[in-house]
Amino acid sequence: MHPMTTSEALEAWINKKRRTWCPKVTEHVRRLAKGWVENFGAGKLVSDVSVADVEKIETARDDGRRSGSALNQERTYMRQFFKWCRLNEWRTSDPTSTWAFRSTEVKREYCPLSKEQETALVEVSPPWLRRFVRLAIYTGLREGTIKQLAWGMLQEDGLLVIPGQLIKNRKPHRIPLIPKVLDELGPRQPAECPLVPGMPEPTRVYQEFKKYAARAGLPSLASPHDLKRTFVARCHAAGISLDRVMALGGFRSMGIIVRHYFSPVPADEARAMLEKV
């Protein structure tokens, strides 16, 4: 096999994979690949791409303006690309295997909202975002689930009954809505009407949330998923046991809560706690 430049290898890889990718994914990967080529250099042999080249991309991307899921998705595509290059014997090593920045590093930056931050965000948000914020914080539901909620799922007594196909663990879920959330939803509507009318697709929620979060003075790393983390953090602060938090939020296990929804203890706080031991 003759030596391949990064641009040639990427084009060959995309043309190969586009048969299984949908057009939207193909276009997304093409945009990512353009950035990789600009960093590596179009004429650089794919065999000469170093760990430092990959880490340079990581550093440029991990700027606090992109979601952890977006960063992880780009990592996945890049790993797949270099795996494909090794299978074609265009290179023998994987420059992504010793990344300085890993997906777990992104997940450690949690920004649960305080009551004051919640109020500030609601005050500057359009109606759909206000409803979304209240529902996410006080139910722990994800963007995709909230997008599909309809008035027919909300009983007269304020109990929200969600079909299993809308929940990640695929089990029917029931959670009562407190008055603060019910007041935000407003007067009852026909059963087929969405609880959050005007809410964009989940892929657009992130950009809209970041825009209004900046206006509200929230940290730059804040994201829609931090509303779910806010739910967990507030339940824990209220003394609710982990098994009850799992049931309230529809989590699959307590291990998921511990792994993904608790931040590391800051050094000063950890020192103060240990001094009491």
Dump the DSSP string for 132-180.
Answer: HHHHHHHH---HHHHHT-BGGGB-TTSEEEE-GGGSTT-S-EEEEPPHH
Q: What is the DSSP string of 186-234?
A: -S---TTSBSSTT---HHHHHHHHHHHHHHTT--TT--THHHHHHHHHH
CB 96, CB 79: distance < 8 Å? yes
Q: Domains in the chain and their CATH numbers? A: 6-107 (1.10.150), 115-225 (1.10.443.10)
Q: 3-class SS at 45?
A: strand
Residue ranges in the chain whose pLDDT is less than 50? 100-108
Distance CA 183, CA 167 (A): 24
Which pLDDT score, from 0 to 100, does residue 263 have? 64
Specify the long-range contacts of residues 162-170, CB closer than 8 Å, at least 24 apart.
162/250, 167/250, 168/142, 168/250, 168/252, 169/250, 169/251, 169/252
Residue 67 is predicted with a pLDDT of 63
pLDDT in tens, 191-229: 999 999 999 987 789 889 999 999 999 987 788 988 988
Record the pTM: 0.63
pLDDT at residue 103, as a whole number: 46
